[in-house]
Amino acid sequence: MKNLRIGAQLALAAALTFGSLVAGCNRISGAAPEIKSEDDKTVYALGLLLGRNVATFNLTPRELEIVKTGLSDAVTKKKPLVEIDKYGPQVDALARKRGNEKAEQEKAKAKDLVAAAEKEPGAVKTPSGFVFKSTRAGTGAQPEAADRVKVHYEGRLSDGTVFDSSIKRGEPAVFPLNGVIKCWTEGVARMKVGEKATLTCPSDVAYGDQGRPPTIPGGATLIFDVELLDVMKAPPVSDTPPPAAAPSPHAAPSPHGAH
């Protein structure tokens, strides 16, 4: 049974991208594969998805070539260069090691990022460590942690990569304020309806060392531009218990990048 889990992890680690495999198999001709048909595009997309799922390994160019070799040998049924029973169990350990190293690098970068955000006019560094900056005043209601809020937002990594945006989707997000990351719970609670703000969120008030791979790396500081559109007060707590047959409430929707 243990080999099933090991085999699945190895398959994922080895199959870095299907596009890379095809490119590796075309070394004789020296030409990259042409992506023409719908099947070609789908196979290429499969490669992208596999590649994202092994981002935790932070492979060097040399290691990428080794992965291609392992993948090619497996597909062409060549004799493996290593014993899979010996080295397969080490895949998880390597993923954890590389993930921890990457998280420490991200947190080191965050110090300068947070310090720069704190120096911007009107910015405030909160006791919990994130930086709040109002960019447009609001005049409406101010939410409490138990309330539901409607917002438009965009989330970026420290390098400017947008990982989630309700604005691009064209649909505001509605969610309970106490059901998201701490930076959001505290930050949006500072806002009034109609207000816009930028939240600079270190990992310890966001997704921690684990991140949300492959979109958000471990240790990442996140920057959110948020517009508070509406506040829906939580219903009053009743002293009367619900009927035994009452259905469970559905989970409230929440932004993809701010769970």
Catalytic residues: 153, 163-164, 181, 207, 224
The answer to whether 196 and 203 are in contact (CB under 8 A) is no
- Listing DSSP states for the chain in one string gives -HHHHHHHHHHHHH-S-HHHHHHHHTTTTT-PPP--SHHHHHHHHHHHHHHHHTGGG---HHHHHHHHHHHHHHHTTPPPSS-HHHHTTHHHHHHHHHHHHHHHHHHHHHHHHHHHHHTSTT-EE-TTS-EEEEEE---S----TTSEEEEEEEEE-TTS-EEEEHHHHT--EEEEGGGS-HHHHHHHTT--TT-EEEEEE-GGGTTTTT-BTTTB-TT--EEEEEEEEEEEPPPPPPSSPPPTTPPPPPPPP--TT--
CA atoms in the 13 A half-sphere facing the CB of 67:
28
How far apart (Å, rounded) are the C-alpha atoms in residues 14 and 21?
Answer: 10
* Burial grade of 38 (CB within 10 A; 0-12, 13-18, 19 or more): exposed
